[in-house]
Amino acid sequence: MGQILTFEEIKNNIEVQTYLKHADYAFAAMGYKEHGFGHALYSANIAEQILKNLGYDQRKQAMF
């Protein structure tokens, strides 16, 4: 198994930020509201809370 990236590393990655920014532009063109970085952070936080409530340890939370 390779190295697992942390949430902070993913969040601060310029390529990920660029991808999300351009995805947000594409969704806006289709009439959707914000689906870029803010949405990704919100979704990640919800997923983390679900995994915590299910009893997963921190390492497992970072994998999903």
Residue 33's pLDDT is: 76
| Confidence check: pLDDT of 14 > 90 | yes
28, part of any domain:
yes
Stretch 3-10: mean pLDDT, rounded? 78
Whether 33 maps to a domain, the answer reads: yes
User: Is 37 domain-assigned?
Assistant: yes
2 assigned to some structural domain: no
pLDDT at residue number 2? 63
Query: Would 15 be classed as within a structural domain?
Result: yes
3-state SS of 2-62?
CCCCCHHHHHCCHHHHHHHHHHHHHHHHCCCCCCCHHHHHHHHHHHHHHHHHCCCCHHHHH
- Residue 48 counted as domain residue: yes
- Stated pTM of the model: 0.56
pLDDT-based confidence at residue 10 (cuts at 50, 70, 90): confident
Are the C-beta atoms of residues 4 and 59 closer than 8 Å to each other?
yes
The tally of domains found in the chain comes to 1
- In this structure, what token pair is assigned to residue 44? 């990640």
Which structural domain, as residue segments, surrounds residue 49? 7-63
- 1 assigned to some structural domain: no
